[in-house]
Amino acid sequence: MKTLVVYYSFGGNTRTIARRIAKSLGADIAEIRTVKRYPDDYDVLVSLGKREVESGYVPQLYPLAVDIAEYDTIVLGTPVWWYSFAPAVKSFMKSVSWKGKTVYPFATNGGWLGHTPSDFKKALRGATVCPVLSVKFDEKTLVTPEKDIDEWIGKIK
Ligand SMILES: Cc1cc2nc3c(=O)[nH]c(=O)nc-3n(C[C@H](O)[C@H](O)[C@H](O)COP(=O)(O)O)c2cc1C
């Protein structure tokens, strides 16, 4: 059965980890993209993100480049936005029927994962949800040891 790595990334950290996982597994990869561009100014983005996460906003997405129905194992990556997954990932999860799928979530962050793991469990109802990999960055620099990431990848079946 096929494995898909699907991710959203604003600044590139989550993309870097998604590519590493896809390469290591020989899996397909697809990016979640919002129709509306987020602002480049980081402070503006952070406060807009707060409003969106707190209000449960679901941004409109471009169609995914692959048919998710063809995959039963999904590695799902998000940056942490205000202690949860990014709104784009919320939109994506709402658009998929999760029954029968196994999901390996990972979340890049600056050290505050918050309630991302329990939010994933709730949003992925019907799926088997595996333990979340938290990948810490200091801005663009990876802080989590690479061996921790590789160990987690090694558990993906
Ligand atoms: C709107 C916004 C909210 C964020 N909230 C958190 C947070 O709650 N906890 C945390 O550790 N990092 C937070 N961050 C930092 C990002 O999670 C971190 O930089 C992540 O690696 C960015 O991934 P990306 O480069 O793929 O977009 C936030 C960043 C943004 C833009």
The pLDDT tens digits along the chain (157 residues) read: 799 999 999 999 999 999 999 999 999 999 999 999 999 999 999 999 999 999 999 999 999 999 999 999 999 999 999 999 999 999 999 999 999 999 999 999 999 999 999 999 999 999 999 999 999 999 999 999 999 999 999 999 8
Tokens of 72: 């039963």
- Contact at 8 Å (CB) between 119 and 54? no
Residue 126 pLDDT: 96
- Contact at 8 Å (CB) between 4 and 27? yes
Instruction: Estimate the share of the chain in helix, then strand, then coil, as percent rounded to the nearest 5.
Output: 35, 25, 40
Q: Tell me, in angstroms, the distance from the centre of ligand 1 to residue 143's CA.
A: 14
Q: Is the CB of 49 under 6 A from ligand 1?
A: yes
Q: Whose CA is nearest to atom 29 of ligand 1?
A: 81
CATH of 2-154, one of 3.40.50.360, 3.40.640.10, 3.40.50.300, 3.40.50.1460: 3.40.50.360
Query: Domain extents for the chain?
Result: 2-154
The CA distances from residue 28 to 79, 112, 145, in Å, are: 20, 29, 24
- Contact at 8 Å (CB) between 17 and 76? no
Q: Tell me, in angstroms, the distance from the centre of ligand 1 to residue 8's CA.
A: 12
The torsion angles phi and psi of 103, rounded to 5 degrees, stand at -120, 130
Residue 65 pLDDT: 94
* Tokens 């595996």 found at: 130
Q: Tell me, in angstroms, the distance from the centre of ligand 1 to residue 100's CA.
A: 30
